Structure 1
């Protein structure tokens, strides 16, 4: 589990396509400080498993399903990424519950002088996004300031803009979105008490 508090801004240094898996090598001096083989690290909000370590770089394997469902499709060396280690059991809970399971991709639209930043997002996620609620954008725990059926806005402070990828996004850039998992559990539990048309009570989420 993660909290959506980015520890450092890393960089993809190598992309190695393979048979059924793409291998990414990511530089991150902070997150590699105590990392071990098999540890989980969130890379732009995607929970990935460390398969190799070398100095201040770690390697992860990304399967086609993950590429298809996230903004990693077409990733190239030099891309900056938000990094967070899995939360320690005795750690301070500073953000919100983030699983690293991407629900969909959105699009960075614009940012004004006050830091109000707008994103387009898939309409099927609209029922989970509420004003003053939590959402993870590229792994960053953020509070929704405004929301419509297909757009939402976040008021970003200068520290977030400087310390994460959101200060570097250009209009049209894809971002990974993870809605608040508590909303999905509430929906699932409430489904039996609601008309069938009101809630899609399908199967569980696939791993992202």
Structure 2
């Protein structure tokens, strides 16, 4: 589990590829403090397992499922990446609940200055992601916990403060670049549970086109 607060910007040292499988070695410093084999580190928002490390770098494997659904396949040697260690129990929860399970990718349509902020306009490559993106809700972009400023029919916008831009690899992102998107876990779970409840009612021949007091009572809301 992560918070979406990036701890440092790492650098891609080497990439070994076999089909849709990758072995990545990344230079880092802070996230290596106390690291052990099997620890989880989010790389551009993707939860990966440390398989080897030394005093200056760590290595992770990327399986085909992750390769196909994230922007890790586009990384090149020398690229900067956002890094965050898994959250410790009892630590400060400064961002929001981030699993490191990327839902899909988006394309940066534009970036523009607005006062002391920079507005990033994002269009998801999978339109289904938009149903979990709401105004002032939480979204994770390349592992960064952000607040949705504008939610449109086909895209959304986030407003980046100077500190976040300076402390993450987002500073190098430009229009046309791809970015990992993880939508809010709470919204996904609520939708899934309600959907399963509706399916169960349909199987029993009940109407499911609207919420009723019986439905709310049955599922513990009343």
> Normalising by structure 2, what TM-score?
0.85
Query: Which residue is 1:120 aligned to?
Result: 123
Instruction: Kindly indicate whether the alpha-carbon contact (under 8 Å) linking 2:21 and 2:67 is maintained by their aligned counterparts in 1.
Output: no
Q: Which residue of 2 aligns with 1:184?
A: 188
Say which one has the larger Rg: 2
Q: Matches of 1:46 and 1:107 in 2, distance apart?
A: 17
Instruction: Give the TM-score, by structure 1 length.
Output: 0.90
Contact 1:102 1:176 in 2 (8 A): yes
* Separation (CA, whole Å) in 2 of partners of 1:96 and 1:133: 10
1:206 maps to which residue?
Answer: none
Per the TM alignment, residue 118 of structure 1 is displaced from its structure 2 partner at its CA by: 0.7
1:169 is aligned to 2:173: yes
**2:163 match: secondary structure:** helix
Kept in 2, the 8 Å contact 1:49–1:60? The answer is yes
Does 1:41 find its partner at 2:32?
no
> Does the 8 Å CA contact 2:20/2:67 hold for their aligned counterparts?
no
Question: In structure 2, the residue corresponding to 1:11 is in which secondary structure?
Answer: strand
Compared CA separation, residues 88 and 171, structure 1 to 2 (3 A): same
CA distance in 1, matches of 2:2, 2:119: 25
Check 1:124–1:52 CA distance in 2 against 1; reply closer, same or farther (3 A cut): same
| Cα distance in structure 2, aligned partners of 1:112 and 1:32 | 34
- Kindly indicate which of the two structures has a greater share of residues assigned to helix: 2
Aligned residue in 2 for 1:17? 17
Give unmatched runs, 5+ long, in structure 2. Answer: 200-206, 211-222
Deviation at 1:85? 0.1
Q: How many residues align?
A: 198
What is the rounded CA distance, in whole Å, between the counterparts of 1:86 and 1:21 in structure 2?
Answer: 23
Q: Do the aligned residues in 2 keep the contact of 1:9 with 1:163 (CA within 8 Å)? A: yes
Contact 2:111 2:174 (8 Å CA) reproduced: no
SS of the aligned residue for 1:26 comes to strand
For 1:127, what is the secondary structure of its paired residue?
helix
Q: Per the alignment, in what secondary structure is the counterpart of residue 38 of structure 1?
A: coil
Deviation at 1:21, TM superposition (A): 2.8
Q: Which runs of 4+ in 1 moved over 3 A?
A: 193-198
User: 1:166 Cα shift?
Assistant: 1.2
Q: Are the aligned partners of 2:44 and 2:83 in contact in 1 as well (CA < 8 Å)?
A: yes
Gap runs ≥5 in structure 1: 199-208
The Cα offsets for residues 110-143 of structure 1, whole Å up to 9 and x where unpaired, read as: 1112111111112111110000000000000000
